[in-house]
Structure 1
Amino acid sequence: MMTVFSRFKARPFILTTGALASAFFVNIAQAAHYPVQVQSCNRSVTFERAPQAAVANDVNLTEMMLALKLRDHMVGYTGVSGWKTLDPTLRKGVGKLPELSPKYPSKEVLLGADADFYFAGWNYGMRVGGGVTPATLAPLGIKVYELTESCIHIMHKPKVSMDDLYTDLLNLGNIFNVETRAKALVAGYQKELAAFQASLKPLPQAPKVFVYDSGEEQPFTAGRYGMPTALIEAAGGVNVADDVKKSWAQVGWESVIDRAPDIIVIVNYGDVTAQQKIDFLTHNPALQSIPAIKNKHFVVLQYVEATPGPRNIDAIKRLATAFRRDAS
C-alpha cells in the first residue's frame, strides 16, 4: 500500500515540475526575444513583452491576427458590424471574442477592455486628428501598430504591393514573438502566388481595370496606394486610377469614361449589394460607352478580399481568371 501510495503521490509532483520547467524555458525564450522594435508608419515602436489584451479593428486586420493564431492574445475586435457582417469564416475564427464597438472605438471602449495593444490603420479604426490615434493612446498604456497600406495618409510611402501585407504579418510576428509562424505564413503565400502566376496564360495586353467601391454622383475608388492596385497588377491588369495618389478617393465619372476600363471590380459590403451596384452601372445612360459596362465585364470582390489580409491571394486568383475569361 505504501509503495502504491508513494508512486501515486509522486506523479503530480513530477507533472508540476515538468510544467514549471516548461514555463521557465518559455519565460527564458520570451526574455531573450524582448525588447523588440518595429516600424509602424513613421514611428519606431518598442515592445517589452507580447501584448496580452490586443484589439484589432475591421475584418481584414482581425483576420491577420487570427491567421497568426493570436486569438488568445486578444480581448476583442471592433469596426465590423457597423458596416459589414461577419461571414462564416471570420465568425468561426473569432469564437467567443466580443465585438467591443460596431464602428471605430473610442478611447473609453479600449480602456474598458483593458486593452494594451490596438492594431488599426488610418481610416481603418483611426482618423487623422481624431480622438483615437497612437499619440492619444500612448498615455493610456495602449500601444498601436498601424496597417502599412494606410500609412500614405500621414507620410510618403512606396506604391502599394503585396509586400505591404507581408510586412504587417512579419511585424505582428515579431511583436507577439511568433516569428517562425509569421515567416512560414508569408513564405506560403509567396510560394502559392508565384506558382499560380507561373501557370497563367499570358494576356495579349493588360486589361484596364476600374475599382468601384460606392457612390453614384462620384465614384469612390482605389488609387495608387490602395490594395486593389496590387491585386490587379499581380493578376496581370492595370488600375486606370493608378495616377490617383491616394489609397481610396472620389473621382469624376468623366475620368472613368475617358479611361475606358475593360473590367470593373465591384467591392461588396454594406447595405448596397454588389448586384445593386452593377444595376446602377448598367442602367446609367451616361456610362454606357464604358467597355466594361457595355460588355458586362464585372468581377465581385468581398471587402475582406479587397483590403490587406489573408484572403488577398484568393482575390488575385479570381481576378486573374476573370481577366483571361473576358479577354477571350
Structure 2
Amino acid sequence: MKKRVIWAFMFLTAVLLLAACSGKDADKEEKDDSKNGKTEQAEKVVIDNDGFVIEYDAAPKRAISLNQHVTEIMLALGLEDSMVGTAYLDDKIYEPLQEAYEKVPVLAEQYPSKEQVIEAEADFLYGGWSSAFNEKGIATREELKELDIDSYLQMSSTNVGPTLEDIYADIRNIAKIFRVEERGEELISQMNQEIEEITAKLPEVKEPVDVLVFDSGETDVFTATQNFMNTLVTMAGGNNIFGDVEGNWATVSKEDAVDRQPEMIVVIDYGSTTVEQKIDFLKSDPALSQTPAVQNERFVTLPLSAASEGVRVAEAVEILAKGFYPEAY
C-alpha cells in the first residue's frame, strides 16, 4: 500500500513538473515573440477591408503579395517567412528590402493565375490595386474565399485623395492580421522620422512650381489627379495642375495640359515604355512640346513603386523636391 502511495506521489510530482516546464517554455516563447514584435493573440482578428469583412483565428502562413508597393510593406514588417510568393514587380525593389525580397519566390511578372495561387497553397493574397481581384486578374474575393483563401486590398490605393494616415491604416491592418502590431508601429514611426528629416530640408516656397504628372498617353494624357501622387507633389512644394479634377486618375486632352502651362513634368517610370521614350515623345509632340516644362527640359523621374501608397514616401518626396528645386540641394 505504501509503495502505491509513493508511486502515485512520484507520478503526480512528475506531471506537475512537466506542466510547470511547459508553462515556462510557453512563457519564454511568448516573450521571445514579444521581443521580435510578434504577438500570438488567441482572440479572433476582424478587419473591415473596404466593406469586405475578414475574420482571422490565426496569422496567415502562406501569403502572396500581388503588387510591388504592398510587397514592400510586407517585407518592411519582416513577414518574408510568412510568404510563398510575390508578383508584379514594377521596377527595382527598395534597396533596404532586397535581401528579404530574395527569400521569396517570384510567381509571375504580372498577376499569377488562379491555378498558380492554388498550387502554392496560399492562404492569403495581398493586392495593391483592385485589378488584382477580378475575373481578368486572379479571381474575385468571393471566389477566393470559397477556396479558403483570404484577401486584403490596399485601401489607400483605391480611396480618392489618400493621405499618409490612410497608408498607416493599411500598415496597421496588415500588422494586426499577422499579429505583428509592434512592428507595425515601429515601421510607421520610422517612416514619420524619415519624412520629417526630408521635409525639414525643403526650401521655403512662395509660389509652388506647377507640375504635370505624366503617366502615359499619345493621343491624350493619362495623369494623376487626386491620388497619392497629388499628395507627394504638394509635400515636395509643387502644385499638381490637375489636382482639381475629381477621382484619382484622369485622361485629359493635350490642349488642356498645354493651357495649364506646367513648369515641371514628373514622368512615372514603370512598364515596357522607358522614361527616355516618354520624354522623347513629350519633346516631339507638336502640342506638349510647347509647354514651359518641355521647352526648359524640366523633367523628374519617379518610380511607380515610390509613387504608390507604400513605405517609400520619404524617398519620393526627396526625389521630387530635388527635381523641383535643384538650386536648393
TM range, smaller chain: 0.7 to 0.9
**Residue-by-residue CA offset, 1:253-304 (whole Å, 9 max, x unaligned):** 1221111111110111222211221111112222232111111111101121
**Residue-by-residue CA offset, 1:140-192 (whole Å, 9 max, x unaligned):** 1111111113334xxxx5x2222222121111111111111110110121122
Counterpart AA for 1:105:
P
Distance 1:129 1:78, change over 3 A: closer
Unaligned stretches of 5+ residues in structure 1: 1-12
Equivalent residue, structure 2, for 1:275: 276
Tell me, in whole angstroms, the C-alpha distance in 2 between the residues paired with 1:239 and 1:88.
26
Counterpart AA for 1:169:
I
Distance 1:67 1:30, change over 3 A: closer
Equivalent residue, structure 1, for 2:5: none
> 62, 65, 68: which is aligned to 1:56?
65
Deviation at 1:245, TM superposition (A): 2.5
Equivalent residue, structure 2, for 1:166: 168
> 204, 221, 239: which is aligned to 1:202?
204
Q: Is the 8 A contact 1:78 1:102 kept in 2?
A: yes
Q: Percent identity?
A: 33
Deviation at 1:216, TM superposition (A): 1.3
Counterpart AA for 2:209:
P
Distance 1:251 1:127, change over 3 A: farther
Distance 1:284 1:43, change over 3 A: same
Tell me, in whole angstroms, the C-alpha distance in 2 between the residues paired with 1:187 and 1:62.
19
**Residue-by-residue CA offset, 1:237-262 (whole Å, 9 max, x unaligned):** 12122133232332221221111111
Deviation at 1:74, TM superposition (A): 0.4
1:76 aligns to what SS in structure 2? strand
Q: CA RMSD in A?
A: 2.8
Distance 1:309 1:88, change over 3 A: closer
Equivalent residue, structure 1, for 2:316: 315
2:115 aligned with 1:113:
no
Deviation at 1:45, TM superposition (A): 2.0
**Residue-by-residue CA offset, 1:94-153 (whole Å, 9 max, x unaligned):** 22321222222232221111111110033452348865122221111111111113334x
2:72 aligned with 1:66:
no
Equivalent residue, structure 2, for 1:237: 238
Distance 1:124 1:166, change over 3 A: farther
Unaligned stretches of 5+ residues in structure 2: 1-17
Equivalent residue, structure 2, for 1:183: 185
Deviation larger for 297-306 or 189-198: 189-198
How many residues were matched structurally?
Answer: 305
Counterpart AA for 1:273:
T
Equivalent residue, structure 2, for 1:259: 260
Distance 1:327 1:240, change over 3 A: farther
Deviation at 1:52, TM superposition (A): 0.3
2:287 aligns to what SS in structure 1? helix
Equivalent residue, structure 2, for 1:214: 216
5 Å-filtered alignment, 1:105-144, equals 105-123=112-130, 125-127=132-134, 132-144=139-151
How high is the TM-score relative to the length of structure 2? Answer: 0.83
Q: Is the 8 A contact 1:220 1:251 kept in 2?
A: yes
Mark the structure with the bigger radius of gyration. Answer: 2
Q: Is the 8 A contact 2:265 2:293 kept in 1?
A: yes
1:244 aligns to what SS in structure 2? coil
